[in-house]
Amino acid sequence: MSLIREIVAELFSMFAADGRLALGALIVIAIAAILVSALPTHPLAAGVVLLVGCLAILVAAADREAKRRASN
Amino acid sequence: MGLSFLNATAPVVGSAFLASLVEAVEAFTIILAVGTLRGWRPAAFGTVGALAVLAALIALLGPLLAYVPLQPLQLAIGILLLLFGMGWLRKAVLRAAGIIPLHDEAAIFTTETVELARRADEKSAAFDWIAALTAFKAVLLEGLEVVFIVIAVGAGRSLTWPASLGALAACLAVLVIGLAVRKPLARVPENTLKFGVGVMLSAFGVFWTGEGLGIPWPGQDLALPVFAGLFLGVALAAASVLRRPLAEPVQ
Q: How confident is the model at residue B120 (pLDDT cuts 50, 70, 90)?
A: low
B202 interfaces chain A, CB cutoff of 8 Å: yes
Are A32 and B238 a contacting pair at CB < 8 A? no
Are B210 and A46 a contacting pair at CB < 8 A? yes
Q: What was the pLDDT predicted at B181?
A: 80
Residues of B in contact with A31 (CB under 8 A): none
Using CB atoms, which residue from A15, A33, A58 is nearest to B90?
Answer: A58
pLDDT digits (tens, 9 = 90+) for B59-99: 887 778 778 888 888 899 999 999 999 999 999 999 999 88
Q: What was the pLDDT predicted at A1?
A: 62
Q: How confident is the model at residue B207 (pLDDT cuts 50, 70, 90)?
A: very high
Size of interface A-B (CB pairs under 8 A): 113
- Between B122 and A32, the higher pLDDT residue: A32
A31 interfaces chain B, CB cutoff of 8 Å: no
Q: What was the pLDDT predicted at B191?
A: 80
ipTM at complex level: 0.92
Q: What was the pLDDT predicted at B246?
A: 53
**Cα atoms in the Cβ-side hemisphere of radius 13 Å centred on B148:** 24
Q: What was the pLDDT predicted at B82?
A: 94
Q: Residue B192's closest CA among B101, B109, B93?
A: B93
Are B87 and A22 a contacting pair at CB < 8 A? yes
Q: How far apart are CA B191 and CA B104, in angstroms?
A: 10
> How far is A7 from chain B, CA to nearest CA, in Å?
7
pLDDT digits (tens, 9 = 90+) for B143-188: 988 988 888 888 777 788 888 899 999 989 988 888 888 777 767 7
B188 secondary structure, DSSP code? S
Domain regions of chain B by residue span = 3-242
Give whole-number Cα distances, B150 to B74, B135, B189, in Å. Answer: 14, 22, 21
> How far is A57 from chain B, CA to nearest CA, in Å?
9
Q: Are B103 and B188 in contact (CB under 8 A)?
A: no
